[in-house]
Amino acid sequence: RKEVEQDPGPFNVPEGATVAFNCTYSNSASQSFFWYRQDCRKEPKLLMSVYSSGNEDGRFTAQLNRASQYISLLIRDSKLSDSATYLCVVNREGRRALTFGSGTRLQVQP
């Protein structure tokens, strides 16, 4: 089983739609969780950290479910500029490193 698993997509949604991605992780000791955004073969950029109580940043909401070992990202009112690959990232306890999922591709259409 992969340490971090994501649906590769693509998710094709119209502008203005709400879309949600899930990501599952295998290491129950993981403590840090992030969502990164990556545009076509460019560098990954931090979108938001994910906190235990859930957190929101504008149109983006992240949730963590430790019992089921998954994190989610909700995007409301999708914009064309949201088209990108979204990477789920989890730390490795004891390895002091981050594990990246393979990403979920989002395509927002006019």
Partner 1 sequence: EAQVTQNPRYLITVTGKKLTVTCSQNMNHEYMSWYRQDPGLGLRQIYYSMNVEVTDKGDVPEGYKVSRKEKRNFPLILESPSPNQTSLYFCASSFQGGNQPQHFGDGTRLSIL
Q: Which residues bind partner 1 (CB under 8 A)?
A: 31-32, 34, 41-46, 49, 87, 91-92, 95-98, 100-103
* CA angle, residues 17, 49, 61, in degrees to nearest 5: 25
Closest distance to partner 1 from the beta carbon of 7 (Å): 13
At 80, is the secondary structure helix, strand, or coil?
Answer: helix
CA 57 to chain centre: 13
Smallest distance, partner 1 to C-beta of residue 59, A: 20
Q: Which is nearer to partner 1, 50 or 108 (CB)?
A: 50
3-state secondary structure of 82: helix
By beta-carbon proximity to partner 1, the closer residue of 1 and 95 is 95
- Beta carbon of residue 13, minimum distance to partner 1 (angstroms, whole number): 23
Geometric angle at alpha carbon 105, from 78 and 71, rounded to 5°: 80
